[in-house]
Structure 1
Amino acid sequence: MKNAVITGATKGMGRSIAIAFAKEGVNLAVCSRNESELTQFKQELLAVNPQIKVFTQVADGSVKDQLLKFAGAAEQELGFIGIIVNNLGMFDPVSILDESDAAFEKQLNTNLMPAYHLYRYFGKSMIAARQGHIFTICSVAALDPIAAAGTYSVTKAALLGLSKVMRLEMMPHNVKVTAVIPGSTLTNSWEGTTIPKDQFVLPEDIASAIVNVYKMSPGANVDELIIKPVGGQI
């Protein structure tokens, strides 16, 4: 059985991605700051597929020590981690000149650093095994910055840059790296919106795309996957 670590997995895209991999028979390691959410989600995943293992641990993925403690426990519990989905992220709709002094560091530690730390933690074992697939959930803001969400755009652009470097480093070792670049996706960020559901990309669309990329033949790698609403950005 394959084993996956998914950050930010109890909500939004991460939740849908975890469910999709559970249906494929992949063992899962997920963390969250909320213990009751984790407990409930674990039961949901096991209901989807009782044959898989689900490891959960309370951890704040934006805090390096907590993230690495979770990574080590996941490896110990499940064995070799062959799939990483760097989904943890936050969106703060404010311009750089108007944001708080702590805003940049907070978004850096949430949107970029977890992917960097998990790569450094699991990367060499993937190289040794000559297998693995790393998915980074970026944003179209990495390609077309949003003035009203400046620091978000900067951190997502950095995440896309990290994904490109990871891919170059991993190419000689048969390890795949895919940057997933979603447009307007109906997650908690849009809570309370009156815009019809059909005008958004859905979290299930992102999950389906990731699983299909993962299931491609050994010689195929999707470098970047851009998924936007059919009518354009909202």
Structure 2
Amino acid sequence: MMKNALITGATKGIGRAVSIAFAKQGINLAICSRNEKELSDFDNELRQINPDITVITLVADCSKPDDVKKFAVFTEKKLGFIDILVNNVGMYKHVSILNDSEDSFKTQMDTNLMPAYELYRFFGKQMVSVGKGHIFNICSVASINPIAEAGVYSVTKYALLGLNKVMRLEMQAHGVKVTAVIPGSTLTDSWKGVEVDKDTMVLPEDVASAIINILNMSAGANVDEVIIKPAGGQL
């Protein structure tokens, strides 16, 4: 039986790579993005990769709780039970806390933490009742080693890792797996405008590959956390 996955922020970076990897595995997809054109183009691309899967899309701004809930309701109505939840959406802001803008804390909490919390609340109870499911939270090495130059970002990613740990403890008695994915310097849109050598970085496809391997492990195995850093160290 085909599995169903929901991925937030799916048209770029890690979300995009995971969506493509899931399509190749024959997993049905619910994806969202703020950009209708990008979403439509990616929808077509995924269907070409695997014509046998169902792909559903919704334009949504995941920094807004109402949009997150709307996407969750839409997904459940169209696909039914969600086997895999990938909390990927996030934003990176390179600025110290003291120099940050007034609204930055709320904006980053609403983008980097709130969607994972809301989607867990929405889908978690059903996963518990069925006794299966896998939740992946895309954290960051800033969840472990804060970056002073990205202060609020570090705080929100610490919080996401904390939420991941609580999820795992709540879920482990019910047969539901929870994994924190902790990538280091990854070649995503966060690096736009910066000259980098892709051979010195983690690629989104590397993160997707790790998630596929974790997903395909035996029923009794859970990867609590996976840290993927550039071979030569952080950039």
Give the alignment's TM-score, normalised by structure 2.
0.99
Which residues of 2 match residues 11-30 of structure 1 at below 5 A?
Answer: 11-30=12-31
Aligned residue for 1:100?
101
Q: Per-residue CA shift, 1:19-69, capped at 9, x if unaligned?
A: 000000000000111111111000000011000000001110110011111
Q: Aligned partner of 2:177: which letter? A: K
Give the alignment's TM-score, normalised by structure 1.
0.99
Tell me by how many angstroms 1:192 deviates.
Answer: 3.0
Which residues of 2 match residues 2-41 of structure 1 at below 5 A?
Answer: 2-41=3-42
Tell me by how many angstroms 1:190 deviates.
Answer: 1.1
Tell me by how many angstroms 1:196 deviates.
Answer: 1.2
How far apart, in 2, do the equivalents of 1:199 and 1:13 lie? 17
Aligned residue for 1:84?
85
Aligned residue for 2:165?
164
Aligned residue for 2:180?
179
Tell me by how many angstroms 1:194 deviates.
Answer: 2.5
Aligned residue for 1:203?
204
What is the CA RMSD across the aligned residues, in angstroms? 0.6
SS of 1:135's partner is strand
How far apart, in 2, do the equivalents of 1:30 and 1:90 lie? 17
SS of 2:98's partner is helix
Aligned residue for 1:116?
117
- Please list every run of at least 4 consecutive aligned residues from structure 1 whose deviation after the TM superposition is greater than 2 angstroms: 192-195
SS of 2:32's partner is strand
SS of 1:98's partner is coil
Q: Aligned partner of 1:32: which letter? A: S
How far apart, in 2, do the equivalents of 1:142 and 1:80 lie? 30
Give the unaligned 5+ runs of structure 1: none
Aligned residue for 2:230?
229
How far apart, in 1, do the equivalents of 2:98 and 2:111 lie? 20
Tell me by how many angstroms 1:193 deviates.
Answer: 2.9
Matched pairs, number: 234
Identity value in percent: 65
How far apart, in 2, do the equivalents of 1:150 and 1:33 lie? 25
